[in-house]
């Protein structure tokens, strides 16, 4: 039963998304209502309190009408509901970098499936998720999926490559171990006994989650270019 869990999760996620707008849906609305070229100027795409998808998406994009200007667009119910200058400055290592939408291969449904399964392998329980699609320090698109409990407190965060579907990083999961620690633990002989056994079990769970995440990605993979060109 555990071996087919990723497939069941992906099917359930896809079915739920049929009645909720995904990130790709929001980008398509942006292209329809503003200009097709607008999708080439997106800096970030954020959706909060998704269950599994959020009620609205907030898109930050370059304002081509002004130098160094940006616009913040909110999309809900299949339309743009607000457009304004951003309330605060852009933060993050990829500050101001636009997303190359041609490299997007994972919609928010797929990001949820990968993140949810990773959380399950870690033993973490959550109620809602917040999505943040932006570029990493190498300019690659990445989904930052934050898991929240019923009180909206952060349970953990999972960084999923939006091009390749790889788990780039985790925070707060797998007993608090960093991704680097989990990656190198297999080659470390620093401890023995109960502690080493526990570390090995956690590391094994992480690497198993990585493998199963890649399988989920192959099934959830969807090119944004193909998606928007269907119109």
pLDDT single digits (tens) 169-209:
899 987 555 555 555 544 444 545 544 444 555 666 667 77
Give strand pairing partners of 111: none
Whose tokens are 């698109």? That residue is 141
Q: CB neighbours (10 Å) of residue 88?
A: 6
- CA torsion angle for 146, 152, 156, 159 (degrees, to 10)? 0
Q: Are 147 and 49 in contact (CB under 8 A)?
A: no
Distance between CA atoms of residues 124 and 147, nearest Å = 9
Break the chain into its structural domains and give their ranges. 2-229
pLDDT value at position 3?
Answer: 39
- Rg, the chain, Cα only: 18
In the prediction, which pLDDT does 183 show? 55
């Amino acid at each position: 039963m555990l071996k087919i869990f990723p497939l069941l999760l992906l099917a359930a996620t896809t079915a739920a998304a049929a009645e909720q707008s995904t990130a790709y849906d929001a980008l398509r609305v942006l292209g329809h209502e503003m200009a097709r070229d607008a999708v080439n100027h997106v800096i970030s795409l954020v959706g909060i309190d998704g269950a599994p998808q959020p009620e609205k998406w907030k898109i930050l994009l370059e304002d081509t009408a002004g130098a160094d200007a940006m616009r913040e667009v909110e999309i809900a119910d299949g339309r743009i509901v607000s457009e304004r200058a951003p309330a605060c400055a852009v933060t993050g290592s990829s500050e101001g970098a636009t997303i190359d939408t041609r490299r997007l291969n994972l919609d928010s449904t797929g990001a949820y499936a990968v993140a949810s399964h990773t959380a399950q392998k870690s033993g973490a329980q959550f109620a809602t998720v917040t999505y943040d699609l932006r570029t990493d320090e190498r300019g690659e698109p990445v989904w930052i999926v934050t898991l929240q409990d019923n009180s909206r407190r952060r349970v953990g965060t999972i960084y999923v490559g939006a091009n390749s579907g790889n788990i780039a990083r985790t925070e707060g999961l797998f007993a608090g171990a960093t991704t680097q620690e989990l990656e190198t633990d297999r080659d470390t002989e620093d401890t023995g006994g109960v502690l080493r056994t526990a570390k090995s079990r956690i590391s094994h769970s992480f690497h198993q989650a990585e493998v199963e995440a890649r399988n989920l990605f192959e099934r959830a993979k969807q090119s944004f270019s193909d998606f928007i060109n269907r119109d």
